[in-house]
């Protein structure tokens, strides 16, 4: 059963540091998503694990054994990438059994395993179809099935859903996750899609510029990340620049353009520059009460399950708020005045002001 | 700034109808999103508008004038393809100035237009860079700038955010919308991403297999979709199969398999007709012991999906069907766990009722 250890893995192309000192431990049967913007090194990393690239330094161990010492055919790694690579002239069944046939498995075994696989990916009735007769989503399921049929237990998925339509992508990610759980697979899944990672991963690795920024469970990564980059990267958020006015035991009072906010946070100093973050769904709006911040609705967008508001708050602060449409509230209209209740909001997070500036820290480009 | 009308436009590739008798209108200054799965005919529709393809049948009007035989260069429309197709050897500024130059503007005027547009897309500081020195998101904005600088009143954007990372897409979709609005152009934006369509569109046109499935305001398309396919494609819904049992005034009683009864609006329903009931995720409530709604069932939580801003709870009700309930802004861990016994409920008025699709439900929902 595969455990995976990366120890100080680095890789340089020309003069670009694609990976710097990556260390990560993945448990047997764990589903880990590697999430980061384009160019963060996530594909390079998965290619190093697959043995397609060799790191300049550091070690990659599968079950404690260095992959360099294991011949490729014995590594038993399944690899699925964004561009679906099925054999076009082979039926679904033949594509699925290909790996076993290459290994000279007995024909009875090939038959049994292939049938199991057809059931698993729910395509028994399409076994005679050719890839071109299938939708993109169905083709990608066959590609996953083919990788599983070879008996691999460690799976490397590089943007496996990236080439599919949004709605197919959503359905397929849950199927993929269920398959991995049912079969007890260890999976490393690379994606740039936050929701995909949040909804299926046991743990998420956030990468930026060739480094691991942080690792955590989806709820930690979204609700209480340690880094400002993570906070902004995994979902839309309001970032308010401010200065610490007072510190109490586990709380600070922060001044944001003349507004005072009480935010949980340790170890901050008076006068220190900070960034307060609050996600749109945690910004409560009411009709004007004289409490909280006074604002004006600048823009309303109906998103189906949510209404999204862009507000202009006194002091020239722009705040984005989102409200579920479940409550039949009529919502607010453009030009309407509202109160924004933030002062003691427990969902606010406090970050040190980044050394390189806020814009650079959260830049996605 | 043209108004565009399609009247019964058909386009075939070989024997395949890429577009089949498509009729709709776009008003001046409007932002229209064309939403549909791969192969639904979205790009064909854009290219017909641009004059890059000719219809096999039907007519296309710009401002009331027939343009079937008007070439692409004379249409006051610009097609911005999915692949940015910037000139690699020209600077960002030169790329953007190219359109006005090609239209015969003097160089000084063309460069002036280009700088103004680059300012708009906030790339002035990179005006002298070459395309390959820019990130994907920046190249995308250059492509958009080039479209805006062309001065065309009609912007045809083919998956303008398709090549970008999800997070950047989220930021840029609001930006694109604002930019187009400031320019006063009419825009047609093609996408397969329903969230993107909902957040930028004045109106949404849903295409499938070359036919219009639905066309209207985002709010209407979401609240009263024209078909089960549209309900599933935009927003998603839990589906129950049933038969209309009785109607009492405004209320219909619908027998759902497994001996359950659901109260639904009776409007336009005929007795004994098989129907599909569709429920939006945010309209399905769950509670531990009390729910005051017309439709309440016992259920068990079978799955929890964390989506960041919300949790989706999959609740199995006694007949084996699963209802999805979406709760926003929950605290860490969420309110319910797998295995919890709960009540799941929804209001009569929230049940969307569709006639059972002739071709069967699975076929109706098929994406490609």
- Residue A279's contacts (CB-CB under 8 Å, 6 or more residues apart) are A235, A236, A237, A238, A347, B309
**Looking at chain A, which residue has its C-alpha nearest residue B220?**
A304
Distance (Å, whole) CA A178 – CA A172: 10
Would the CB atoms of B199 and A301 count as touching at under 8 Å?
yes
Give a yes or no: residue B240 inside a domain: no
Q: How far is A137 from chain B (nearest CA, A)?
A: 9
Q: Is the pLDDT of residue B175 over 90?
A: no
**Looking at chain A, which residue has its C-alpha nearest residue B285?**
A326
Same domain membership, residue B251 and residue B173: no
| Tokens, residue A180 | 């991995």
Same domain membership, residue B190 and residue B293: no
Q: Judge whether B3 and B67 are in contact, CB under 8 Å.
A: no
Q: Judge whether A3 and A64 are in contact, CB under 8 Å.
A: yes
Pick from B176, B264, B283, B286: which is nearest to B222 by CA?
B283
Considering the entire predicted model, what is its pTM?
A: 0.91
B residues 21-40 lying closer than 8 A (beta carbon) to A:
37-38
Question: Residues of A36-66 as b/e, b for ≥16 C-beta within 10 angstroms?
Answer: bbbbbbbbbbbbbbbbebebeebebbbeeee
Would the CB atoms of A195 and B165 count as touching at under 8 Å?
no
Same domain membership, residue B219 and residue B254: no
Q: Judge whether A186 and A147 are in contact, CB under 8 Å.
A: no
Pick from A12, A16, A11, A1: which is nearest to A60 by CA?
A11
A residues 178-217 lying closer than 8 A (beta carbon) to B:
192-196, 198-199
Q: Judge whether A29 and A200 are in contact, CB under 8 Å.
A: no
Same domain membership, residue B257 and residue B167: no
- Which of B308, B324, B335 best tests the A interface by mutation, with the highest count of A CBs <10 A? B308
For residue B306, the chain A residues in CB contact (below 8 A) are: 198-199, 218-219, 222
Per-residue pLDDT of chain A (365 residues; tens, 9 = 90+): 679 999 999 999 877 889 999 999 999 999 999 999 988 999 999 999 988 889 999 999 998 889 888 777 777 888 888 877 899 999 999 999 988 888 778 888 888 889 988 988 888 889 999 998 888 888 888 998 888 888 787 999 999 998 888 888 898 999 999 989 988 999 999 999 999 999 999 999 999 999 999 999 999 999 999 999 999 999 999 999 999 999 988 899 999 998 999 999 888 999 999 999 999 999 999 999 888 889 999 999 999 999 999 999 988 899 999 999 887 666 899 999 999 988 888 999 999 999 999 999 998 77
For residue B138, the chain A residues in CB contact (below 8 A) are: 365
Q: Is the pLDDT of residue B317 over 60?
A: yes
Q: How far is A194 from chain B (nearest CA, A)?
A: 7
- Which of B165, B198, B348 best tests the A interface by mutation, with the highest count of A CBs <10 A? B165
Would the CB atoms of A326 and B282 count as touching at under 8 Å?
yes
Question: The domain A236-279+344-365 is classified under which CATH number: 2.40.50.100, 3.30.70.260, 3.40.50.720, 2.70.170.10?
Answer: 2.40.50.100
- List chain A domain ranges: 4-230, 236-279+344-365, 284-341
| Tokens, residue A72 | 């490729």
Strand partners, A208: A211
Same domain membership, residue B134 and residue B280: no
Would the CB atoms of A219 and B333 count as touching at under 8 Å?
yes
**Gyration radius of chain A's alpha carbons:** 25
For residue B167, the chain A residues in CB contact (below 8 A) are: 37, 192, 194, 233-234, 364
3-state secondary structure chain B: CCCEEEEEEEEEECCEEEEEEEEEEECCCCEEEEECCCCCCHHHHHHHHHCCCCCCEEEEEECCEECCCCCHHHCCEEEECCCCCCCCCCCHHHHHHHHHHHCCCCHHHHHHHHHHHHHHCCCHHHCCCCHHHCCHHHHHHHHHHHHHHCCCCEEEEECCCCCCCHHHHHHHHHHHHHHHHHHCCEEEEEECCHHHHHHHCCEEEEEECCEEEEEECHHHHHHCCCCHHHHHHCCCCEEEEEEEEEEECCEEEEEECCCEEEEEECCCCCCCCEEEEEECHHHCEEECCCCCCCEEEEEEEEEEEECCCEEEEEEECCCCCEEEEEEECCCCCCCCCCCCEEEEEECHHHCEEEECCCCCHHHHHCCC
Which of helix, strand or coil describes residue A65?
A: strand
Give a yes or no: residue B239 inside a domain: no
Q: Give the CATH number, domain containing residue B67.
A: 3.40.50.300
Which domain range does residue B271 map to? 246-365
Distance (Å, whole) CA A168 – CA A342: 38
- Which of B38, B41, B42, B167 best tests the A interface by mutation, with the highest count of A CBs <10 A? B167
pLDDT given at position A328: 63
Same domain membership, residue B170 and residue B98: yes
Q: Which of A28-42, B35-49, B135-149, B233-247 bottoms out in mean pLDDT, i.e. has the lowest?
A: B135-149
Would the CB atoms of A174 and B305 count as touching at under 8 Å?
yes
For residue B37, the chain A residues in CB contact (below 8 A) are: 165, 167-168
Same domain membership, residue B173 and residue B57: yes
- Residue A74's contacts (CB-CB under 8 Å, 6 or more residues apart) are none
Q: Judge whether A224 and A349 are in contact, CB under 8 Å.
A: yes
Same domain membership, residue B257 and residue B179: no
Sheet holding B260-265, edge to edge: B260-265, B251-256, B238-248, B274-279, B352-355
pLDDT given at position A352: 96
A residues 241-280 lying closer than 8 A (beta carbon) to B:
279-280
**Looking at chain B, which residue has its C-alpha nearest residue A134?**
B368
Same domain membership, residue B121 and residue B47: yes
**Looking at chain B, which residue has its C-alpha nearest residue A36?**
B165
Same domain membership, residue B218 and residue B105: yes
DSSP 8-state secondary structure symbol assigned to residue A127: T
pLDDT given at position A331: 85
For residue A140, the chain B residues in CB contact (below 8 A) are: none
Pick from B176, B140, B311, B230: which is nearest to A195 by CA?
B311
Q: Judge whether B159 and B188 are in contact, CB under 8 Å.
A: no
A residues 144-183 lying closer than 8 A (beta carbon) to B:
165-168, 170, 174
CA B318 to chain centroid, in Å, comes to 34
Fold adopted by A284-341: OB fold (Dihydrolipoamide Acetyltransferase, E2P) (2.40.50)
Distance (Å, whole) CA B275 – CA B259: 15
Q: Judge whether B367 and A166 are in contact, CB under 8 Å.
A: no
Give a yes or no: residue B93 inside a domain: yes
Count of domains for chain B: 2
- Which of A197, A218, A305 best tests the B interface by mutation, with the highest count of B CBs <10 A? A305
pLDDT digits (tens, 9 = 90+) for B33-55: 999 998 899 999 999 999 999 99
| Tokens, residue A49 | 């694990």
Q: Judge whether B115 and B97 are in contact, CB under 8 Å.
A: no
Which of B200, B230, B260 is the endpoint of a domain? Answer: B230
Would the CB atoms of B282 and A305 count as touching at under 8 Å?
yes
Give a yes or no: residue B235 inside a domain: no
What's the average model confidence in pLDDT over B114-136? 87
B residues 69-98 lying closer than 8 A (beta carbon) to A:
none
Distance, first Cα to last Cα, chain A: 38
- Partner-chain residue, chosen from A167, A234, A282, that has the shortest CB–CB distance to B329: A282
pLDDT given at position A101: 82
| Tokens, residue B35 | 């939403």
Give a yes or no: residue B204 inside a domain: yes
pLDDT band at B1 (very low <50, low <70, confident <90, very high): low
pLDDT given at position B293: 95
Q: Judge whether B293 and B285 are in contact, CB under 8 Å.
A: yes
- Any chain A CB within 8 A of the CB of B310? yes
Pick from B278, B265, B272: which is nearest to B352 by CA?
B278
B residues 156-195 lying closer than 8 A (beta carbon) to A:
165-168, 170-171, 192-195
- Partner-chain residue, chosen from A37, A135, A324, that has the shortest CB–CB distance to B367: A135
For residue A136, the chain B residues in CB contact (below 8 A) are: 38, 368
**What ipTM was reported for this prediction?**
0.90
Distance (Å, whole) CA A229 – CA A208: 9
**Looking at chain B, which residue has its C-alpha nearest residue A164?**
B38
**Looking at chain A, which residue has its C-alpha nearest residue B331?**
A223
**Looking at chain A, which residue has its C-alpha nearest residue B235?**
A304
Same domain membership, residue B207 and residue B133: yes
Would the CB atoms of A304 and B170 count as touching at under 8 Å?
no
Q: Give the CATH number, domain containing residue B258.
A: 2.40.50.140
Fold adopted by A4-230: Rossmann fold (3.40.50)
pLDDT band at B261 (very low <50, low <70, confident <90, very high): very high
- Any chain B CB within 8 A of the CB of A359? no
pLDDT given at position B155: 93
pLDDT given at position B116: 87
pLDDT given at position A281: 95
Which of helix, strand or coil describes residue A237?
A: coil
pLDDT given at position A329: 66
Same domain membership, residue B218 and residue B250: no
- Any chain A CB within 8 A of the CB of B19? no
Q: How far is B91 from chain A (nearest CA, A)?
A: 19
A4-230 matches A284-341 in fold: no
Angle between helices B136-149 and B107-120 (to 10 degrees): 130
| Tokens, residue B360 | 């069967």
Max Cα separation, chain A? 78
For residue A199, the chain B residues in CB contact (below 8 A) are: 305-307
Pick from A219, A192, A191: which is nearest to A203 by CA?
A219
């Amino acid at each position: 059963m595969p455990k995976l250890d990366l120890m100080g893995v680095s890789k340089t192309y020309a003069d670009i540091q694609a990976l710097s000192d990556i260390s990560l431990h993945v448990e047997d049967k764990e589903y880990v998503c590697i999430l980061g913007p384009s160019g963060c090194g996530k594909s390079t990393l998965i290619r190093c694990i697959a043995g397609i690239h060799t790191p300049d330094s550091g070690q990659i161990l599968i079950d404690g054994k260095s992959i360099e010492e294991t011949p490729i055919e014995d590594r038993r790694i399944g690899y699925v990438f964004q561009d679906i690579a099925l054999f076009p002239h082979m039926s679904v069944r033949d594509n699925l059994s290909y790996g076993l046939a290459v290994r000279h498995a007995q024909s009875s075994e090939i038959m049994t395993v292939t049938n199991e696989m057809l059931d698993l990916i729910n395509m028994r009735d399409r076994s005679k179809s050719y890839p071109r007769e299938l939708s993109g989503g169905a083709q990608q399921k066959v590609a996953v099935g083919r990788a599983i049929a070879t008996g691999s237990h460690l799976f490397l998925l590089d943007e496996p859903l990236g080439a599919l339509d949004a709605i197919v992508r959503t359905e397929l990610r849950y199927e993929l996750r269920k398959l991995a759980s049912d079969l007890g697979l260890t999976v490393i899944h690379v994606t740039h899609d936050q929701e995909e990672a949040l909804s299926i991963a046991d743990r998420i690795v956030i990468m930026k510029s060739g480094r691991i920024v942080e690792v955590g469970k989806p709820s930690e990564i979204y609700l209480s990340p340690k880094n400002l980059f993570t906070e902004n990267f995994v979902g839309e958020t309001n970032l308010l620049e401010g200065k610490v006015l007072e510190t109490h035991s586990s709380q600070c009072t922060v001044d944001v353009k003349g507004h005072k906010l009480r935010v949980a946070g340790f170890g901050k100093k008076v006068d220190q520059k900070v960034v307060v973050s609050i996600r749109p769904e945690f910004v409560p709006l009411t009709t004007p009460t004289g409490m909280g911040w006074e604002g004006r609705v600048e823009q309303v967008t109906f998103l189906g399950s949510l209404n999204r508001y862009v507000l202009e708050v006194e002091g020239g602060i722009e705040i984005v708020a989102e409200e579920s449409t479940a409550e039949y509230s009529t919502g607010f209209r453009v030009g309407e005045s509202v109160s924004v209740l933030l002062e003691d909001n427990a969902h606010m997070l406090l970050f040190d002001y980044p050394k390189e500036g806020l814009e650079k820290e959260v830049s996605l480009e | 700034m043209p108004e565009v009308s399609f009247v019964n436009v058909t386009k075939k590739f070989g024997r395949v109808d890429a577009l089949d008798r498509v009729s709709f209108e776009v008003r001046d200054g409007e932002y229209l999103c064309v939403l549909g799965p791969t192969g639904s005919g979205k790009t064909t529709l854009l290219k017909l508008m641009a004059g890059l393809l000719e219809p096999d049948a039907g007519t296309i009007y710009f401002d009331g004038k027939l343009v079937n035989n008007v070439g692409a260069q004379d249409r006051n429309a610009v097609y911005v393809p999915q692949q940015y197709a910037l000139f690699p050897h020209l600077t960002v500024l030169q790329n953007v100035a190219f359109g006005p130059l090609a239209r015969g503007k003097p160089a000084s005027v063309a460069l002036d237009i280009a700088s103004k547009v680059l300012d708009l897309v906030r790339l002035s500081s990179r005006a002298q860079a070459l395309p390959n020195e820019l990130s994907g998101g920046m190249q995308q904005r250059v492509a958009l700038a080039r479209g805006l600088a062309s001065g065309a009143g009609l912007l045809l954007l083919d998956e303008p955010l398709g090549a970008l990372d999800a997070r950047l897409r989220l930021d840029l979709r609001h930006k694109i919308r604002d930019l187009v609005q400031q320019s006063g152009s009419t825009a047609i934006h093609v996408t397969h991403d329903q969230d993107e369509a909902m957040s930028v569109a004045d109106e949404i046109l849903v295409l499938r297999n070359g036919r219009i499935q639905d066309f209207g305001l985002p709010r209407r398309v979401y609240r009263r979709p024209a078909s089960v396919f549209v309900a599933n494609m935009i927003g998603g819904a839990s589906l129950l199969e049933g038969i209309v049992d009785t109607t009492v005034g405004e209320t219909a009683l619908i027998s759902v398999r497994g001996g359950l009864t659901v109260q639904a609006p009776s409007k336009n329903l005929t007795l004994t007709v098989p129907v599909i009931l569709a429920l939006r995720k945010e309209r399905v409530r769950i509670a531990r012991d009390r729910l005051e709604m017309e439709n309440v069932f016992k259920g068990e939580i079978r799955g929890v999906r964390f989506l960041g801003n919300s949790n989706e709870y999959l609740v199995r009700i006694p007949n084996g069907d699963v209802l999805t309930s979406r709760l926003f802004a929950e605290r860490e861990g969420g309110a319910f766990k797998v295995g919890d016994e709960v009540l799941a409920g929804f209001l009569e008025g929230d049940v969307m009722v569709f006639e059972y699709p002739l071709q069967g439900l699975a076929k109706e929902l098929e994406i490609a």
